[in-house]
């Protein structure tokens, strides 16, 4: 169930971005450890062929800790992905 983040907090600007945040949160909730990039990349692809690049372009760096202003920089397969407070609110 998705809720709406309070006014003023950054939000994904598309469904793929929301799916990416949901995937990270779901894995964290299930395993109590932040997931690695490779797991999320595979989950995106398994869920209808979504890809990391298109999903991450719908986010700003304030939503996912691993992101920086160069949002499309390559990530290591074992890089942990963690949510910010703003993304958890989404």
| pLDDT greater at residue 86 or residue 77 | 77
CA distance 66 to 37: 10
Q: How confident is the model at residue 90 (pLDDT cuts 50, 70, 90)?
A: low
Say whether pTM exceeds 0.85.
Answer: no
Half-sphere exposure of 29 (CA within 13 A, CB side): 7
């Amino acid at each position: 169930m998705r809720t709406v983040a309070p006014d003023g907090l950054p939000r994904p600007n598309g469904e793929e971005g929301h799916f990416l945040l949901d995937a990270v949160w779901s894995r964290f909730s299930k395993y109590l450890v932040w997931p690695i990039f490779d797991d999320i990349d595979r989950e995106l692809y398994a869920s209808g062929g979504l890809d990391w690049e298109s999903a991450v372009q719908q986010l700003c760096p304030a939503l996912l800790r691993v992101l920086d202003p160069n949002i499309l920089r390559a990530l290591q397969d074992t890089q942990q992905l963690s949510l910010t407070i703003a993304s958890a609110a989404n």
